[in-house]
């Protein structure tokens, strides 16, 4: 009997976090260790049987050290965002791309806690607070369209609310 591996052309279910400061005029972005100069929002894959919101709390802790007490939940983007990876970035783990559920948070914790060297899953070298539109200019092309959508929704829904 022959066992077949699933094809690498699937889209991975994942989650992402859009974290704003208390004034809601800057977002928390990260520079990947493997891609100097490129920034992204925290994100990661959803585990089997994991709820998306639970997944983003797990990912934030694993990649940045942030816990629930450090962020205030504001809401979620109403749709799943899909992006396709260029062929050179495709793999068995990441497949053809991702379908992502994004969540909005306000940072209420201690910025000194963001110690990216002492986290479970070290992926980032630096973090930056930037204007929301700056992330679009500093991220890889395949993420730009999705980031524009979540920024537009944030500005319409959460930017000037308490």
Predicted pLDDT of residue 1 = 43
The reported pTM is: 0.86
Instruction: Look at residue 98 in the predicted model and tell me its pLDDT.
Output: 80
Q: For residues 109 and 4, give the distance between their C-alpha atoms in angstroms, rounded to a whole number.
A: 47
- Supply φ then ψ for residue 16, to 5 degrees: -145, 160
Residue 104 has pLDDT above 90, yes or no: yes
Q: What angle do CA 83, 87, 13 make, to 5 degrees?
A: 35
Asked if pLDDT for residue 107 goes beyond 60, the answer is yes
Tell me: the pLDDT tens digits for 38-60? Answer: 889 999 988 888 999 999 999 99
Q: Which two tokens stand for residue 64?
A: 């940045």
- Say what the pLDDT of residue 97 is: 80
pLDDT above 70 as % of the chain:
92
Task: Provide the token pair at 144.
Answer: 């730009």
Model pLDDT, residue 60: 94
Which domains does the chain carry? 11-157 (3.90.79.10)
* 86-97 pLDDT per residue, tens: 788 777 777 788
Residues 158 and 148: their CA atoms lie apart, in Å, by 15
List pLDDT tens digits, range 5-29.
443 568 888 999 999 999 999 999 9
Which pLDDT does position 52 carry in this prediction? 94
3-state helix, strand, coil in the chain (%, to 5): 30, 30, 40
Q: For residues 99 and 2, what is the distance between their CA atoms, to the nearest angstrom?
A: 30
């Amino acid at each position: 009997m022959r066992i077949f591996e699933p094809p690498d052309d699937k889209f991975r279910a994942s989650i992402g976090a859009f974290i704003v400061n208390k004034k809601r005029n800057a977002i928390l972005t990260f520079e990947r260790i493997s891609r100097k100069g490129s920034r992204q929002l925290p994100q990661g894959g959803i585990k089997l049987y994991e709820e998306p919101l639970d997944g983003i709390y797990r990912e934030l802790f694993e990649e940045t050290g942030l816990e629930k007490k450090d962020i205030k939940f504001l809401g979620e983007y109403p749709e799943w965002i899909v992006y396709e990876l260029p062929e050179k970035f495709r793999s068995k783990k990441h497949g053809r791309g991702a379908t992502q559920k994004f969540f909005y948070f306000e940072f209420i914790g201690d910025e000194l806690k963001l110690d990216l060297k002492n986290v479970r899953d070290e992926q980032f070298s630096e973090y930056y607070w930037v204007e929301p539109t700056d992330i679009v200019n500093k991220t890889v092309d395949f993420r730009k369209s999705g980031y524009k959508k979540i920024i537009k929704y944030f500005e319409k829904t959460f930017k000037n609310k308490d």
